[in-house]
Amino acid sequence: MIGNISAVSETAMRRLRQRVGAMPVLGSGLKVLFGRHAVFPHFRSSPAYWDERYRHGGNSGVGSYGRLAHFKAETINRFVEGQRVASVAEFGCGDGAQLELANYPRYTGFDVSSHIVAHCRQKFAHDSSKDFDDLSGSLCETIQADLAMSLDVIYHLVEDSTYDRYMRRLARAGERFLCIYSSNVSLPGHVPHIRHRCFSDWLEAHAPQWRLMGKIRNAYPHDPADPDQTSWADFYFFRRPD
């Protein structure tokens, strides 16, 4: 069993990545699970997992790169333009790779990892239309934006308390619209940091003011034979009644 990553030297990690990458089936699968740089944090909790993953060279996962990222960007950019969205608040901004494809007039990104927030602040330091903060601050409790957004996050919230707190912040932040890109079914995950959630049931029970505008199915639906180029997530757009 692989222990806590903090106990593994960088030299040992490089050797481990090389060995994993050389494995024709297992190697590619592990790199899909942990991002383009294979990282193996010991799972303690959802917040700790992502903070450790980012601190040790991991990225936001394959959904933020390649054709999946372009599909997401095209869908959201079209919605933002068509609905004249003036501001976006994203809960779970990750490493900023997806954001590089975005066209938002004003953006605030939040993440559970203070390390990745600092990374994004540096990455987009030249762009005054973008701000970043971590979820331990007070801004995430008070922010209001035309569009509140969650991309590839909900099925990573394995603890009920973490999930409930996240959903309450997300539902509260949207002034006009809510965009969720996720699976929408209650199922256990295949790895410790994944648990599928039926978030539409949560919204119906706890935030019924949000009405479904429409669902956009993934252009690249999940294919077990091609996990790094497909996804189980679809787009769901919600609106507050006028």
pTM: 0.83
Digit-coded pLDDT (tens) for 117-163: 999 999 999 999 999 999 988 999 999 999 999 999 999 999 999 99
The number of angstroms, rounded, from the C-alpha of 139 to the middle of its chain's C-alpha atoms is 19
Q: What are phi and psi of 150, to 5 degrees?
A: -135, 115
pLDDT at 27 over 50: no
Other Cβ atoms less than 10 A from the Cβ of 101: the count is 14
HSE-CB for 188 with a 13 A CA cutoff: 3
**Which residue did the predictor score with more confidence, 58 or 1?**
58
Digit-coded pLDDT (tens) for 84-120: 999 999 999 999 999 999 999 999 999 999 999 999 9
> What are the residue ranges of CATH 3.40.50.150 in the chain?
62-239
* Measured CA distances, 124 to 74, 98, 100, 121, 195 (Å): 20, 13, 9, 5, 31
Q: Report the number of secondary-structure helices (H) and strands (E) in the chain.
A: 8, 9
Is 3.40.50.150 the CATH classification of the domain at 62-239?
yes
Q: Which residues pair with 236 in a beta bridge?
A: 180, 215
Beta 211-216 vs 234-239: how paired, if at all? antiparallel
Indicate the pLDDT class of residue 22, thresholds 50, 70 and 90: very low
pLDDT at 39 over 70: no
Digit-coded pLDDT (tens) for 215-232: 999 999 999 999 999 999
**Residue whose structure tokens are 């199915």:** 217
Q: How many Å is the maximal CA-CA distance in the chain?
A: 58
Q: Which residues pair with 178 in a beta bridge?
A: 148, 238
Token output for 235: 């787009």
> What DSSP line would sit under 104-127, residue for residue?
-SSEEEEES-HHHHHHHHHHTTT-
* Measured CA distances, 123 to 45, 51, 110, 134 (Å): 27, 18, 15, 16
Beta 234-239 vs 174-182: how paired, if at all? antiparallel
